[in-house]
Amino acid sequence: MKPYDAMQHHTDLKRWYSRKLGLHIRLKKVLPEPLVLLLYSVLIGIVGGYGAVGFRKLIDLFTSLFFGLGSDFSSLGRADVLLSPMIGLILVSVIAKVFAPEAKGHGVPEVMAAIAV
């Protein structure tokens, strides 16, 4: 067994990262690193912003779907506030039993472990 060589380990890691992060390495060769990081932050901000706007639009869609003027639940008066979560619970329970029967337990770790298997 060879003794641990920190320089060799560093070289191996650098080689591995250069294969995995090829675009980053190529960008660093052309542009200064602060500009590359600025580009990454702008890209992440744009994607996050569109994700937030899309999420908000989905919330509005489902709110108008369940509580809007043309909704079937709107004729039930205030009972729709109780019925909508109950219907959602039933749907989620059926989906979980059909598509993920191994996802049993009381928390996120159990579900993550079931999905990982």
Q: Are residues 116 and 88 in the same domain?
A: yes
Residue 71 has a pLDDT of: 53
Q: How many domains does the chain have?
A: 2
pTM of the model: 0.47
More confident residue, 39 or 14: 39
Dist. CA 44–CA 27, nearest whole Å? 16
Residues 23 and 63 in one domain: yes
Asked if the structure places residue 10 within a domain, the reply is no
pLDDT for the residue 56: 94
Q: Is 85 inside a domain boundary?
A: yes
In a domain, 72, yes or no: no
What is the band of 26 on the pLDDT scale with cuts at 50, 70, 90? confident
| Domain-ending residue, one of 44, 67, 90 | 67
Q: Range of 49's domain?
A: 19-67
User: pLDDT for 27-77, tens place per residue?
Assistant: 888 989 899 899 999 999 999 999 999 999 998 888 887 776 555 555 666
Task: Please report whether residue 88 resides in a domain.
Answer: yes
The pLDDT, as a whole number, for residue 117 is: 62
Judge whether 96 lies within some domain.
Answer: yes
**Is residue 52 located within the same domain as residue 29?**
yes
Tens of pLDDT, residue by residue over 78-91, are 777 777 788 888 98
Compute the distance between CA of residue 93 and CA of residue 100 in angstroms, rounded to an integer. Answer: 10
Evaluate whether residue 13 is within a structural domain. no
- Tell me, yes or no, whether 14 lies in a domain: no
CA 77-82-78 angle, 5° bins: 15
Structure tokens, 85: 């979560």
Distance, in Å, from the CA atom of 94 to the CA atom of 101, rounded to the nearest integer, reads: 10
**95, pLDDT greater than 80:** yes
